[in-house]
A and B are shown apart, each in its own frame.
Chain A
Amino acid sequence: MNDKTNKNSIIRLFNVSKRFGGKLALKDITLDIEQGELIFISGPSGAGKSTLLKILYLAQKASEGQILIDGMNLARISSSKLPFLRRRFGMIFQDFKLIPNRTVFENVALVLEAAGEKPSFIRKKVMQVLRTTGMEKKFNTLPPTLSGGEQQRVAVARAVVGEPSVVFADEPTGSLDSKSAQAILDFLMGYHKKGATVLIVSHNLHLLERTVSGRNIEISEGRIKRIATIFQDKERKQ
């Protein structure tokens, strides 16, 4: 099930499979994602959506197949170079993955510290991003004292502070109320409009209804079941 092939492809997957023991979690995935695309990866729980995302953000290795990121073959990249590739990605998780004993500021600053940025730049940039996510006033707060929506806004700030060209979001609104979910989605849409590629994994079809562009990749039992534009999806439902 090959999708369109484009010279602007930022991520390309060729017959990618992932095996956990004897069980195949992903089977023969072939996919092209263009620079600046908005991609939804949908499907029921256990379909393999998160596994696919983990492979894309280099948290897991594919058992079979080839993955090209910006023309670079992941299989040929040494482990010492992986951190530099990861800096081009931003990640958002359903459980936020914030460091509980570090302040909001420190959690967001970690990305820039890891990239070796100067403290003066880090201070300026982090406060700027916290302002855009509405978390500026809580910069000195520890994450456990924040609400779920606030924690996810911090996680979003951390994901975009390094101005990555690709943002991966794994069920970003999964544990949020509808108002917070909309705020997160709006922010991601805004970031996508600036030219970034955004991949959102979600089993929540309401998210698709709230967006007007992009592609929906439906996964079922580890395989790509269907690829359609959001527009096509909406038309089909009507």
Chain B
Amino acid sequence: MVVTFQLNGEDCRLDGDPMTPLVDILRQERFLTGTKAVCREGFCGACMVHVDDEAVPSCLKPIGLVQGCAVTTIEGLSSGNQALHPLQANFEAADAVQCGMCFPGMVMSLSAFVRDNPHASRPEIKAAMVGNICRCTGYERIVDAVADCLDQARKAGQLAGGIHV
């Protein structure tokens, strides 16, 4: 079956099994290895991507369901040669990244969250990341960095439309 969708802003056409998990296409055919395949059960959050602007686990998304959708991976958020997403910049500033395995998923979950919840409280930030597991257990720094990101956005007057990806 042929499936077409937008991948990080570019047209993507695939011919294969429509029940292939999106994460496998990203990693094995598009070499976008920032998206991690860890638990493959939707519990760990390491494979989070944006599908039509919503953060979803790509391990449980068959490519047949992304026909016509826009998919953004961690590589699409910032190429590394350009300014980081504000949340990535805050993670870097707070030295929040430890081994890095969970981080692409953390960034994808939380970048959508800060975009949609510019006034989020600390408990709301924690609730938003319950599906992203960090075995280095550095959660408090991550929460600090998200809170800082929101604080900076508020001070910069970016509240009206939230923080855009």
Q: Do A and B come from one complex?
A: no
